[in-house]
């Protein structure tokens, strides 16, 4: 059986079972938000190291698990390290995590590939060892939804991402699948590469949270799949815009009417440095 290794364990998240379980116990102790009305069809999670954004991602999976913990999670990843012209499904049969292997729903992957042959392919090379956007979610799913399978798909940030997502959601609906479609993205990367449009200081944090990240999240909440990639290109407020556009499009096809923001924060708020010159935004969303 082909199993993708947990390449970032011990770096971006705990490398052992006890460390992962201790993190999940802390996450499970946090209060859940009020129930979101309507069946949940997906969401958005961040993918920084767990010490920064793991609690936000865990909250989204907890809310999804509360409705149906046995669902397959179709996990759409941000593309950081390879060049892709279209979405790519992992060819592995499972992904290793410190909590045990997370099985890939290969049957669902094959069904999607057969229904959308011009929009998606199968390519394990599109899921390299250094790519964090999907790997960081795998142990969260394994720990919070232990009976679930997942289907990892990398989605490049191009204008076809929304088209793929809409078709993906339609295919899932036709199949009668109960899978949820979850995108992995961080939000504004402020200060990186010298990019500081609001300067340095507390005002920069306010601008990122209340303007730049909020503008992106408003498109996600409105399920405006066709506008998400262009927004990120113009304002640098998401690194996984393709994945997010696809998830919003899929949610729309699956009958969702809007997104619901469960949490929004930044690395500066989670682990303050006091400099306000380099930090990253995070948001957790569910679609219903």
Q: Show me where the domains of the chain are located.
A: 3-287
pTM of the model: 0.97
Q: How confident is the model at residue 126 (pLDDT cuts 50, 70, 90)?
A: confident
Q: Distance between CA atoms of 204 and 235, rounded to whole angstroms?
A: 14
pLDDT at residue 265 is higher than 90: yes
The answer to whether the CB of 107 falls within 8 A of the CB of 14 is no
What is the percent of the chain where pLDDT is above 70? 100
Across 16-39, average pLDDT: 95
pLDDT value at position 83? Answer: 83
Pairing of strands 94-95, 3-4: parallel
Q: Distance between CA atoms of 246 and 163, rounded to whole angstroms?
A: 7
CA angle 92, 97, 100 (to 5 degrees): 95
Across 203-218, average pLDDT: 98
214-245 tens-digit pLDDT: 999 999 999 999 999 999 999 999 999 999 99
Across 60-78, average pLDDT: 95
pLDDT at residue 44 is higher than 90: yes
Across 121-148, average pLDDT: 94
Across 111-116, average pLDDT: 98
The structure tokens listed for 257 are 């009417």
- The string over 243-254, giving b where at least 16 C-beta atoms fall within 10 Å of a residue's C-beta and e elsewhere, is bbbbbbbbbbbb
pLDDT value at position 38? Answer: 85
Of the candidate CATH numbers 1.10.3720.10, 3.40.830.10, 3.40.1350.10, 3.50.50.60, the domain formed by 3-287 belongs to 3.40.830.10
Outline where 17-102 has alpha helix (H).
Answer: 17-29, 55-67
What are the beta bridge partners of residue 162? none
Ramachandran angles phi, psi of 102, nearest 5°: -105, 115
């Amino acid at each position: 059986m082909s199993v993708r290794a947990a390449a970032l364990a011990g770096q971006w998240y705990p490398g052992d079972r006890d460390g992962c379980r201790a993190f999940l116990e802390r996450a499970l102790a946090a209060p859940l938000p009020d129930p979101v009305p309507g069946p949940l069809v997906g969401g958005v999670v961040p993918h920084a190291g767990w010490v920064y954004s793991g609690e936000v991602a865990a909250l989204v999976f907890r809310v999804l698990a509360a409705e149906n913990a046995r669902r397959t999670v179709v996990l759409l990843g941000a593309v950081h390290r390879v060049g892709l012209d279209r979405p790519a499904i992992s060819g592995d049969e499972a992904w290793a995590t410190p909590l045990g292997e997370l099985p890939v729903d290969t049957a669902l992957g094959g069904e999607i590939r057969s229904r959308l042959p011009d929009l998606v392919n199968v390519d394990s090379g599109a899921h390299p060892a250094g790519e964090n956007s999907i790997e960081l979610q795998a142990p969260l799913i394994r720990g919070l939804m232990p009976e679930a399978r997942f289907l990892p798909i990398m989605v490049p940030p191009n204008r076809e991402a929304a088209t793929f997502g809409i078709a993906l959601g339609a295919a899932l609906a036709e199949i009668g699948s109960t899978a949820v479609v979850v995108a992995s993205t961080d939000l504004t990367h402020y200060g990186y590469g010298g990019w500081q449009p609001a300067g340095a200081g507390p005002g920069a944090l306010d601008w990122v949270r209340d303007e730049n990240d909020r503008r992106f999240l408003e498109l996600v909440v409105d399920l405006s799949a066709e506008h998400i990639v262009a927004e990120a290109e113009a304002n640098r407020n998401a690194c996984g815009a393709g994945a997010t556009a696809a998830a919003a499009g899929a949610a729309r096809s699956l009958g969702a009417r809007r997104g619901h923001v469960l949490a929004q924060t930044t690395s500066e708020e989670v682990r303050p440095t006091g400099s306000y010159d380099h930090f990253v935004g995070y948001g957790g969303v569910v679609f219903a």
